[in-house]
Chain A
Amino acid sequence: MSSAAATEAGSMTERLTLVEGVREGLHTEMERDDRVMVLGEDVGKNGGVFRATEGLYDEFGGGRVVDTPLAESGIVGSAIGLALSGLRPVAEMQFMGFMYPAFDQLVSHAARLRSRSHGQYTCPLVVRAPYGGGIRAPEHHSESKEAFFVHEPGLKVVIPSTPADAKGLLTAAIRDPDPVMFLEPKLIYRAFREEVPQKSYEVSLGEAAVRREGSDISVYTWGAMTRPTLIAADNLADEHGVDCEVVDLRTLSPLDAGTVVASFEKTGRAAVVHEAPKTGGVGAEIATTIQEEALMYQEAPIKRIAGLDAPIPLHALEDYYLPQAVRIQDGILETVEF
């Protein structure tokens, strides 16, 4: 949680998981603004398959918490129309792996309504989707394809890694005048709790958070990979005396290049950790940004610690596929010792 948010909130906090942070973000924003509505598959009575919308149907009714037919393109397309009509829809895609039917609506329309209409129309829409592996889910339930959306101008891409950020970033996303892809790391939906302000607050989009200060190397990550990266950083400090700076990007588009570059200028070395396939992943964008803006500070090749260029396997092997602490540590050491 940013220190500004904590101060603003005073002492009224509650200990929440990340998925509860999402729910609190929806709840406080629906209370504050009656234009905000939630739509998707199973989001109403069932409270969402991950319980992210639990209780909202009872409190706000079926008119604002809408169980739709099973149709991703229909959900996002209708949400675009709802947004055009003046409402503030938050559409849920049940899993990122199922959102491809909505891809056309997102990239052909949501992303460019503003530019296509020369600013006449806007699309204040949020699309929420759980993403990523590690929860022993069936095929198509573990994808991490944030790069698809980062590549599309006009879309914002946000990934929280803490309960307090989940609430604050989602609030900011709902209030944002542009379409926001809000991707939720389901591996850490319930992995830990932290104090979250009860009141409504925003964590600004487009601002990375330095989770750990350090001087030897900058390690950039987001979402579910933030936890193993911090574990790796602690291990490296204890076992090798390596002092990692860990930067949680929080917003992948627009990228907080200022924080990325400033951290690199301090350390001169970089590693990027993501669970998405390595090729064409957001890690490549971060590495190139550093090359373009801070080449003269560079003391070692930039290391990408990522998923393989293969479909994420079924659960028996997914721990080999996802970066975990030893892989992250090893990659960081290789860079530091270059």
Chain B
Amino acid sequence: MSTQDDTDYQNAIETAQLDDEPIRILDDDGTLLSSAEPPALSEAELLEMYADIKLARHFDQRAVSFQRQGRIATYAPMTGQEGSQVATSHALDDEDWLFPTYRDHAAKYVHGADLAALLKTLRGYREGYAIPDDVNLMPEYIPIATQVPQAMGMAWGQMLQGNDDTAVLCHLGDGATSEGDFHEGLNFAGVFDVPAVFVCNNNQWAISVPRERQTASETIAEKAHAYGVEGVRVDGMDPLAVYAVTRAAIKKAKAPTDDERRPTLIESVQYRYGAHTTSDDPSVYRDEAESEAWRDRDPLDRLETYLYQTDVLNAEREAKIEARIEAEVATAIETAEAAETSPERMIEHVYEETPNRLQEQFDELSTLREKYGDDAFAEVLG
């Protein structure tokens, strides 16, 4: 989105790498750090980023509440992590590809996914995974780290075909860095020097296992060095810092200077406030005080404070944004809840042409539906 020169941030990245301190632009309260310069984003761009984070949080709260009401199935909450997700997607150009995990609802939305479609999937309709034609986005990846080599391959393919304006951004979690696919993907990325950016959303917990029990490395970013890939740590709850670092990495991926490598592993240091999914209870494995401490660095609060301090935001604008996003989420919910599905969807798109045997199996099922009625299919255990 931005075409500004990010040399300053490249310098900041290099400096930060020396001491492993995450790069920050805002302090915990949201005030601009005296040593930092804000990324060159216009007022409109800043407000858009703010509105997207606010929408993400509102969506997240609604989704958790809907899951509790039984209106959607298992949901992976993102509160605490929206700032990073929104900022990384803002750093992408439209032609860049995004490989999301099951928690990257906001990243997907910002890069072009339809909000109602996200909810359709949660209602159990595979149709929700359909991607709008002009959006370079993959459906969410649920098996851990499997997207890493694929994202690498997409970046490689773009490079081989001379599409120098296209980079690939791949999300993963801290747990994903334990899987073989992470290492294989990063290793290939280094060997083939592909235009890919891997963003590890280090939210400190892989379900119940803390980051310290996931890897004995001091940081996740340092793993990049083993693969000849650049590694950088950023304060994942500082949206401006995440934007700046990601934007620099995307630009480098597309047009590295002579001494630069294209791929980057960004460790976005953040925290999952809530449960891994609505199926687990974090109080079993972690101390609530820890979660509270991270809330002091909340990405939405920090950006809001910064925007008020710089007069980009005021009460009137905030109210307007709030009304707009509430309406947008409400419409998405209405659309998703009005959606209908049909058993035919089960056999569609399994192959380009449905094989006869599968069609026959489905026809047999249809005959039974006609004979016994759909109620007879409502429960497997009777």
Per the bound structure, the CA–CA distance linking A44 and B124 in Å amounts to 31
Contact check, B215 vs A308: say whether CB atoms are below 8 A apart: no
Instruction: Name the residue of chain A whose CB is nearest to the CB of B339.
Output: A316
Nearest opposing residue in chain A for B350, CB measure: A310
Complexed CA–CA distance, A71 and B183 (Å):
12
B-facing residues in A176-191 (Cβ within 8 Å): 187-188, 191
Q: Given A69-B175, A71-B179, A73-B180, is A45 in contact with B285 using a C-beta cutoff of 8 Å?
A: yes
Interface pick from A112-120, A131-139, A159-167, A236-244: A131-139
Q: B379 contacts A42, CB within 8 Å?
A: no
Write the A302-338 contact mask toward B (1 if CB under 8 angstroms, else 0).
Answer: 0000001111011111111111111100100000000
Q: Nearest residue in B to A191 (C-beta to C-beta)?
A: B381
What number of residue pairs across chains A and B have CB atoms under 8 A from each other?
A: 150
- Our pick among A49, A137, A322, A326 for the contact of B368 (Cβ within 8 Å) is A326
Are A69 and B368 in touch, CB under 8 angstroms?
no
User: Judging by beta carbons under 8 Å apart, are B377 and A140 in contact?
Assistant: no
* A71 and B180 form a contact (CB under 8 A): yes
A100–B361 Cα gap in the complex (Å)?
Answer: 27
Q: Does A92 contact B (CB under 8 A)?
A: no
Query: Known contacts A98-B143, A308-B347, A310-B347: does B341 contact A228 (CB below 8 Å)?
Result: no
CB distance from A3 to the nearest CB of B (A): 26
Q: Do the beta carbons of A330 and B371 come within 8 Å of each other? A: yes
Q: A46-B285, A70-B209, A313-B346 are in contact. Are A136 and B144 (CB under 8 A)?
A: no
Q: 1/0 contact trace for B163-185 toward A, CB 8 Å?
A: 00000000000011011110000
Tell me if A138 and B74 are in contact (CB < 8 A): yes
1/0 per position for A60-103, CB-CB distance to B under 8 A? 00000001111111100000000000000000000001101100
B357's nearest neighbour on chain A, judged by CB, is A309
Q: Which residues of A contact B379 (CB under 8 A)?
A: 319, 324
Query: Is A228's CB under 8 angstroms from B143's CB?
Result: no
Quick check: B125 and A316 within 8 Å, CB to CB? yes
**The one of B125, B362, B382 that contacts A227, using a Cβ cutoff of 8 Å:** B382
Does A5 count as interface, using CB distance less than 8 angstroms? no
In the complex, how many angstroms separate the beta carbon of B101 from the nearest chain A beta carbon?
12
Q: Judge if B358 is at the interface, Cβ distance under 8 Å.
A: yes
Chain A residues touching B, range: 35 or more
Distance between Cα atoms of A73 and B144 in the complex (Å): 12
Across the interface, A320 reaches (CB within 8 A) one of B179, B213, B346, B355, namely B346
Contacting residues, chain B, for A330 (C-beta < 8 A): 368, 371-372
Say yes or no: A67-B381 contact (C-beta < 8 A), given A314-B121, A330-B368: no
Question: Is A278 located at the chain interface by the 8 A CB criterion?
Answer: yes
B279 beta carbon closer than 8 Å to chain A = yes
1/0 per residue, CB under 8 A from B, across A20-59: the answer is 0000000000000000000001101111010000000000
User: In the bound complex, what is the Cα–Cα distance between A100 and B180 (angstroms)?
Assistant: 12
B365 within 8 A of A: yes
Task: Tell whether A188 pairs with B381 under 8 Å between CB atoms, given A316-B123, A316-B124.
Answer: yes
Chain B residues contacting A47 (CB-CB under 8 Å) are 284
B355: chain A residues within 8 A (beta carbon): 309
Check A316/B209 contact, CB under 8 A, given A71-B179, A101-B180, A324-B380. Answer: no
Nearest B residue to A140, CB-CB = B142
Decide: A319 and B378 in contact? CB cutoff 8 A. yes
A231: Cβ under 8 A from any B Cβ: yes
Decide if A101 touches B179 in the complex (CB within 8 Å): yes
User: A70–B73 Cα gap in the complex (Å)?
Assistant: 24
Q: Give the complex CA separation of A279 and B209 in angstroms.
A: 39
On whether the beta carbons of B365 and A46 are closer than 8 Å, the reply is no
Contact of A46 among B142, B207, B347, B372 (CB under 8 A): B207
Indicate if B280 sits at the interface (CB-CB under 8 A): yes
Shortest B291–chain A CB gap in Å is 16
Contact check, A326 vs B181: say whether CB atoms are below 8 A apart: no
Known: A46-B207, A69-B209. A98 touches B380 (CB 8 A): no
Chain A residues at the B interface, C-beta cutoff of 8 Å: 41-42, 44-47, 49, 67-74, 97-98, 100-101, 133-134, 136-141, 187-188, 191, 224, 227-228, 231, 278-279, 308-311, 313-327, 330
Identify 29 residue pairs between A and B in the complex whose beta-carbon atoms are under 8 Å apart, listed by A's number.
A41-B206, A42-B209, A45-B284, A45-B285, A47-B284, A49-B280, A67-B208, A70-B206, A70-B209, A98-B143, A101-B181, A134-B381, A137-B73, A138-B73, A138-B142, A139-B126, A140-B142, A228-B380, A228-B381, A308-B365, A309-B355, A310-B347, A311-B350, A313-B124, A313-B346, A314-B73, A314-B124, A320-B346, A320-B365
Report the 8 A-B pairs with minimum CB-CB distance, sorted nearest first.
A316-B124, A46-B208, A69-B178, A70-B175, A315-B124, A314-B124, A326-B376, A71-B178
